[in-house]
Structure 1
Amino acid sequence: MPTRQEWQPINRLTPLRTGRSACDVIAVKGGATFVGTSEPVLPMDGEGPRRAITLDDFYLEAEAVTVARFAEFVESTGYVTEAETFGCSAVFSGLLPDAARATHNIAGTPRWMQIDAASWNRPEGPGSSTGDRLEHPVTQVSWNDAMAFAAWAGGRLPTEAEWEHAARGGNRSRRYPWGDAEPRDDTIFCNIWQGRFPHENTLADGFLGTAPARSYDPTDDGFYNLAGNVWEWTAEPFRVRSVSKAAKIRNLQAAKNIEKILKGGSFLCHESYCYRYRIAARIGLSPDSAASNVGFRLAYDRMPAM
């Protein structure tokens, strides 16, 4: 494991971002580092093998893009998200009234409902709003929506390696952005499920769904919620680095659907069900996918103008 002297520090900078919203951008020192893990928990997700790489210096926002910032983008451009175009999106059933849970099931995913008119500003469909969630991460946004926002804001989506490098605080080996300590119901580091999934959520962290983008303690370098809260889109296509038959089948599926990598887990993760709030964990979704627990944060090649 690298000593503290061997990993490169990350320096925090704070420019003013678009329109009325402010967002911290953190300068990340590149260099020799790695991506993945040599001890994958979910090998078929492609968590391993650990691979040595070299990164250029880059910049990454301290938090996920919020509802307020996304609203500015829509107001400025008239952009229509893919969920709005499709007329529906995936909503976690636990966020819905009892009457809605009995309808609109998505085949093969009993905990998710396809809800008409669910979108970034009506995350649970008609009757819902984001009025009390302006500082929460925007959700119900596809990879294509995130790319459109990034182009407008002058940024981009991070690569998987950049995301992991920032989450680890350089080339340190650690399981979570805060270290190796396991989050428990009485030791809360992030917004994940508490209790028995999916039957009971004790709400020990105070949230059933998303939490504000700046909830919980940041990492040593100033990043918020790189574990839990919402899955974050990255720039890269999903692929499992294995020659096994199962991996080949998964890769064919991912290529057919043009899947992209998401990192970080979400408020629905739990060790017994979706142990994917670890840094090396990942999933793949088609670029037009949107859901209650999917968002993004921006990266930059150079410091954005103040």
Structure 2
Amino acid sequence: MKNVKIIISTSIAAIVAVTCLSLIKTPVKTTVTPPRAAAKKVAICCESNIPKRYQSLVVAPTGTLPAVKTHEGMVWIDAGTYAMGADNKQAADDEYPKHKISVKGFWMDVTEVTNGQFEEFVKATGYITTAERKPDWNELKKQLPPGTSKPADNLLVAASLVFKQPKDDVPLNDYSQWWDWKKGANWRHPHGTGSHIKGKHNYPVVHISWFDAVAYSKWAGKRLPTEAEWEWAARGSLKGNVYPWGNEPVDAGKPKANTWQGSFPNTNMLKDKFFYAAPARSFAPNGYGLYDMAGNVWEWCADYYRSDYYKICTRMALIANPQGPADSYDPAEPYTKKRVMRGGSFLCNDSYCSGYRVARRMKSSEDSGMEHLGFRCVADK
């Protein structure tokens, strides 16, 4: 690969060379032999190409992990078989080909995990999230191309990525135009120091890394959904439809999800009445009674991300309860270990990522934490 760009910025614009505040772009010449051919059409989204922030050390919750005592706030999803993958022409290469999948029945959280629920976990365990910890350069550089320069010390601070709205149209391939690496931003302070979640206990918790989501899930006696389980649940018993609600375009009719209406990222018409995340249950649920399976905040899945995973899947006529690939590979960032995210967010728009489509795949490094990234859990029978 030529001119591998890696961003770790204070403003995601700095995520291209290794900055944590102003997107310093430092081309690094390196040769990478990908395990398989790279996809022709690379999926982009509000958090595309955000590499591993640093190797997070997961703080294990204290005591014995509890089993699920109750399925309150969850809904049972029956077992079934479906065609997983692309449903329309907006699909990216990593959504092809469609392939036959079967999943066992499972319980799933009706809503995304909320601030109130996550706060209970933190109070019980003393857990400290990835965004609340200072990045360790010795760990961070292991995920970057050889020769990458160390960012300034004032950039290696406890921080997370916060959306910043530009005043005018900007190039959609320059993420620094709408992201800001903000000191003090975390689940307690979604917009940075001075912001808070007072009165927002029923809003989805955000600035959550994959490690954070796994830690909470274990504490709750649950787990993260596999990508196959997530898509099966999002479809809500509908077959071959584009969205959780059917095939009506996202901006047609009454608002069906919390998304970006207008010209992304500078003009939001607010037809859904929300600029940032919306409270849980603000929009109609899908056929299984699940809320916000489209829009609001992206949701972590358990699976590693591989751009060619669906092509591998087609080698079998039917895959039962797939757990995802054995390793991670993204040709755009071959040094970065990534996990799958699903569902889109309040920043998704048809002109950019169409992340609210049920087949839409997105990925990010395990330690990524952003203002529109959360999760929900599942539990086995």
Q: How does 1:1-306 map to 2 (within 5 A)?
A: 23-37=72-86, 39=88, 41-44=90-93, 46-86=94-134, 87-94=158-165, 108-170=175-237, 172-184=239-251, 187-241=254-308, 251-253=330-332, 256-302=335-381
Query: Offset of 1:33 from its aligned partner?
Result: 2.0
Query: Offset of 1:255 from its aligned partner?
Result: 5.5
The DSSP-based 3-state class of the residue aligned with 1:135 is coil
Richer in helix (by share)? 1
The DSSP-based 3-state class of the residue aligned with 2:330 is helix
Quote the Cα distance in structure 2 between the aligned partners of 1:154 and 1:119.
Answer: 24
The DSSP-based 3-state class of the residue aligned with 2:177 is strand
Richer in strand (by share)? 1
| Per-residue deviation, residues 202-252 of structure 1 (Å, max 9, x unmatched) | 212111100012111111221000000000000001112278xxxxxx634
The DSSP-based 3-state class of the residue aligned with 2:191 is coil
Query: Offset of 1:38 from its aligned partner?
Result: 5.8
| Per-residue deviation, residues 37-92 of structure 1 (Å, max 9, x unmatched) | 26452424x11211101211111111100000000000110000000013000000
Query: Which structure has the greater CA radius of gyration?
Result: 2
The DSSP-based 3-state class of the residue aligned with 2:358 is coil
Q: Normalised by the size of structure 1, how large is the TM-score?
A: 0.82
Given that 1:23 and 1:62 are in contact with CA atoms closer than 8 Å, whether structure 2 keeps it comes out as no
Count of matched residue pairs: 269
The DSSP-based 3-state class of the residue aligned with 1:74 is helix
Q: CA 1:30–1:217 in structure 2 vs 1: closer, same or farther (change >3 Å)?
A: same
The DSSP-based 3-state class of the residue aligned with 2:95 is coil
- Alpha carbon RMSD of aligned pairs, Å? 2.5
Given that 2:88 and 2:242 are in contact with CA atoms closer than 8 Å, whether structure 1 keeps it comes out as no
Quote the Cα distance in structure 2 between the aligned partners of 1:270 and 1:204.
Answer: 13
Q: Percent identity?
A: 38
Q: Normalised by the size of structure 2, how large is the TM-score?
A: 0.66
Quote the Cα distance in structure 2 between the aligned partners of 1:31 and 1:217.
Answer: 23
Flag as ranges the 4+ runs of structure 1 deviating above 6 A: none
Quote the Cα distance in structure 1 between the aligned partners of 2:216 and 2:87.
Answer: 35
Quote the Cα distance in structure 1 between the aligned partners of 2:87 and 2:269.
Answer: 34
Query: Offset of 1:18 from its aligned partner?
Result: 8.4
Q: CA 1:112–1:18 in structure 2 vs 1: closer, same or farther (change >3 Å)?
A: farther
Quote the Cα distance in structure 1 between the aligned partners of 2:120 and 2:106.
Answer: 25
Quote the Cα distance in structure 1 between the aligned partners of 2:165 and 2:71.
Answer: 32
Query: Offset of 1:187 from its aligned partner?
Result: 2.8
Quote the Cα distance in structure 1 between the aligned partners of 2:115 and 2:287.
Answer: 25
The DSSP-based 3-state class of the residue aligned with 1:52 is strand
| Per-residue deviation, residues 17-49 of structure 1 (Å, max 9, x unmatched) | 989x995211111132232126452424x1121
Match for residue 20 of structure 2?
A: none
